């Protein structure tokens, strides 16, 4: 499981969590399901920062 949060002045303004799903493909490619139900695909070799950015991209800001 991975959780990414953005804090401003010590207060969380956005948080996204995801859990890796069972993947039947080769081991370097993973699928994650977020707490909002979005599916994110990620190559393991790209690292955690790239995954965190993908998770944050699923947040829809109310403007």
pLDDT tens digits for 7-36?
999 999 999 999 999 776 666 789 999 999
Contact indicator for 7, 13 with CB cutoff of 8 Å: yes
pLDDT of the residue at 57 = 94
Q: Taking 80 as the threshold, does the pLDDT of residue 49 lie above it?
A: yes
pTM: 0.83
Higher pLDDT, 25 or 1: 1
The tokens 């139900």 sit on which residue?
37
The H or E element spanning position 30 is strand 29-34
């Amino acid at each position: 499981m991975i959780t990414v949060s953005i804090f401003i002045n010590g207060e969380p303004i956005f948080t996204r969590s995801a859990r890796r799903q069972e993947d039947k493909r080769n081991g370097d490619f993973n699928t994650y399901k977020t707490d909002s139900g979005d599916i994110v695909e990620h190559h393991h070799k790209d690292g955690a920062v790239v995954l965190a950015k993908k998770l944050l991209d699923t947040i829809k800001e109310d403007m």
